[in-house]
Amino acid sequence: MDDLVLNTRLVKDADETFYELTTQAPDQTGYYKLSPETLFGYYSDITTRTKDTVIRRTTTIIENRIKLKDNELLLSSTDTISQTLRIFPWGRVPKARIVFPGFSENSSGFSFELTVLGKETININGKEYPCWKAQLGLGGIFGAVFGKTLLYFSTTSPSYLLKSDGVVGPPGTPRTILELKNYSPIISS
């Protein structure tokens, strides 16, 4: 089983304050900047490696004028969902429509939904963790056709993603289970 290493730290410099999120896996590395207030990812630099190609994608959200409606959640990409959902109002909002900058339900024909299924205690490496269990997937008719992913966030605030179980990719991608193995507190720089 391959490991995914995720590190987060609060960066305070003369120009800006942001959470720096880095990810490292055998097939992908990522660097992200997230707003400390909303955990919205406004910058990403991702390099993906396959046996045939190496692809680097860099995204900067220069301006965001999206006005969210009730029960909508703004995500810059699925790569930052584990961080953004740490401040989700667990226990108060049963369902949220996921909004991505640059895409709208009208232009793309589909939407993503997060549905809170309740609380569940999970066991990782022999330790019990009380979690919020949520389901992430396409809304509407597409949701019945394509698989959904189960997410388990700790019930203690801020809620950390402890486990995910589902498809992480396009149709035909095999089911993947990710579990948190180790955690270290955020250190400011």
Contact (CB, 8 A) for 132 and 155? yes
pLDDT tens-digit readout, 105-120: 554 556 789 999 999 9
**Percentage, residues of the chain above pLDDT 90:** 29
Q: How confident is the model at residue 111, as a pLDDT?
A: 76
**95: helix, strand or coil:** strand
For 42, the token pair is 């406004």
**DSSP classification of residue 15:** S
Q: How confident is the model at residue 127, as a pLDDT?
A: 86
pLDDT above 80 for 92: yes
Phi and psi, residue 25, nearest 5°: -140, 165
The count of C-alpha atoms lying within 13 angstroms of the C-alpha of 138, restricted to the half-sphere facing its C-beta, is 17
Q: Which of 75, 63, 79 is nearest to 111 (CA)?
A: 75
User: d(Cα 6, Cα 182) in Å, to the nearest integer?
Assistant: 10
pLDDT tens-digit readout, 138-151: 776 666 667 789 99
For the ranges 11-25, 96-110, 119-133, the lowest mean pLDDT is seen at 96-110
Most confident of the ranges 51-60, 95-104, 143-152, 171-180: 51-60
Residue 102 neighbours by CB distance under 10 Å: 11
Q: Which residue is it, tokens 């095999």?
A: 174
